[in-house]
Amino acid sequence: MPYVKIEVTREGVTREQKRILIKGVTDLITGVLNKDPELTHVVIQEVELDDWGFTGEQVSVLREKGITADKK
């Protein structure tokens, strides 16, 4: 029973994007590991920007400065 947890910052991820992620991860696990998709669980957890950080700062503060992970 594979369990995959995806954590993203709470920045407007749509229901459709989540559906695509869940389907894509399930298909990948099924194809690569030959696992039963009926037993594959995918959880998407959205995290507030104040509760996520990198380079020693909260993402909320970095966003205010115009900094994203790919610009650092």
Q: So where are the chain's domains?
A: 3-64
Q: What pLDDT is stored for residue 72 in this prediction?
A: 52
Q: What pLDDT is stored for residue 67 in this prediction?
A: 83
Distance (Å, rounded) from C-alpha 49 to C-alpha 18? Answer: 18
Active-site position among 1, 2, 50, 63: 2
Beta strands in 1-72 (DSSP E): 3-9, 41-47, 53-54, 57-58
Question: Do residues 45 and 9 make contact, with C-beta atoms less than 8 angstroms apart?
Answer: no
Q: CATH code for 3-64?
A: 3.30.429.10
Active site residue 37: no
Q: Which residues of the chain have pLDDT under 50?
A: none
Q: What pLDDT is stored for residue 71 in this prediction?
A: 63
Task: Match 């790919």 to its residue by tokens.
Answer: 70
